[in-house]
A = this chain, B = another copy of it.
Amino acid sequence: MTSAHAPRSAVIGLGSMGLGMALTMARKGLSVTGFDINPDAVAKLTQGGGTGCNNITEAATGCDIVVAVVVNAAQTDAVLFGEGGAAMAMARGGVIISSATMAPEDARRFAEKAKGLGLHYLDAPISGGAAKAASGELTIMASGTAEAFAGARPVLDVIAGTVYELGCAAGIGASFKMVNQLLAGVHIAAACEAMAFAKRLGLDLDQVYKVITASAGNSWMFENRVPHILEGDYSPRSAVNIFTKDLGIVGDMGRRETFPLPLSAAALQMFMMTAAAGMGRDDDASVARMFAMIAGLDLPERRKE
């Protein structure tokens, strides 16, 4: 990436994370195109100073940097390497920034495919949520070759508050993200188990939140998700289905490594129970509502507007 021209970039996948990243890139002066199957998201990118496109090829053609921000490995494979995928359209020598959460072996496989096409690949899962995507303060757990990092730098510089450089091969970034998701999923399920149990014990839940967040039982997820329970607001900030997916990947990795993961396995089943009860698209704090349903608890309900 020593080309003299200003880099051209594209974002494939304009969900809340991808759109936030693309708008940040446009706002900070990068040339950015984008595509999503949702035309509203494409229109929003154009309104925000980027160029919304009608398909992936149109968005990626001639780009030096393509950011793939889709749901999983299968979608990443399709949008990059499938028919009409971005890898065939972008500039040779360019770099793919791949941000979907996936197993490390998928990241390694995609890096090989990219190499075969004369492209660089940065394994770059993200953390921080939609608000940090919109403000350009994402945390990125990245690994890849020096060329991949160098090529990705103009985009990393504008979208990230912190870039962890975790190693020189694809798969390492993905591994870090999965370790984080293991803990995040267990902590959400534990927060819900604890709050539902506190309700059964007759405790004042607002007081429980106040005491626990000041005690050794606290977690980032307890502090962040329990307010949803206290407000009875299960509109999805992050959905139950994200954790059936991510703890599913963790479980697959454990089996592949012949490594026991008893807490992650128990937490996955709790998210599965919640999804099976019809709450898969609701906020992940709905695990508390699953306990309430089973045990007949009266958790707080959202005030009617």
A interface list, Cβ under 8 A from B: 104, 127, 139, 141, 162, 164, 166-167, 172, 175-176, 178-184, 186-187, 189-191, 193-194, 196-198, 200-204, 207-208, 210-212, 214-222, 224, 253-254, 257-267, 269-270, 291, 294-295
The reply to whether A217 and B261 contact each other, CB–CB distance below 8 Å, is: no
Cβ of A50 to closest chain B Cβ, rounded Å: 28
The reply to whether B257 and A211 contact each other, CB–CB distance below 8 Å, is: no
The reply to whether A216 and B220 contact each other, CB–CB distance below 8 Å, is: yes
The reply to whether A217 and B270 contact each other, CB–CB distance below 8 Å, is: no
The reply to whether A184 and B127 contact each other, CB–CB distance below 8 Å, is: no
The reply to whether A203 and B187 contact each other, CB–CB distance below 8 Å, is: no
The reply to whether B186 and A186 contact each other, CB–CB distance below 8 Å, is: yes
The reply to whether A176 and B208 contact each other, CB–CB distance below 8 Å, is: yes
Question: Which of B166, B208, B253 is A179 in contact with, Cβ under 8 Å?
Answer: B208
Question: Which of B187, B201, B291 is A187 in contact with, Cβ under 8 Å?
Answer: B187
The reply to whether B219 and A257 contact each other, CB–CB distance below 8 Å, is: no
Show 13 residue pairs from A and B whose CB-CB distance is below 8 angstroms, ordered by the A residue: A180-B215, A183-B194, A183-B219, A186-B190, A186-B263, A187-B219, A196-B259, A197-B257, A216-B224, A258-B295, A262-B269, A263-B263, A265-B266
Give the complex CA separation of A260 and B287 in angstroms. Answer: 13
The reply to whether B182 and A197 contact each other, CB–CB distance below 8 Å, is: yes
Q: A175-B203, A186-B190, A201-B257 are in contact. Are A180 and B263 (CB under 8 A)?
A: no
The reply to whether B197 and A261 contact each other, CB–CB distance below 8 Å, is: yes
Question: Which of B176, B178, B257, B266 is A262 in contact with, Cβ under 8 Å?
Answer: B266
Question: Which of B182, B212, B215, B262 is A270 in contact with, Cβ under 8 Å?
Answer: B262
- Chain B residues with Cβ below 8 Å from A176 are 203, 207-208, 211
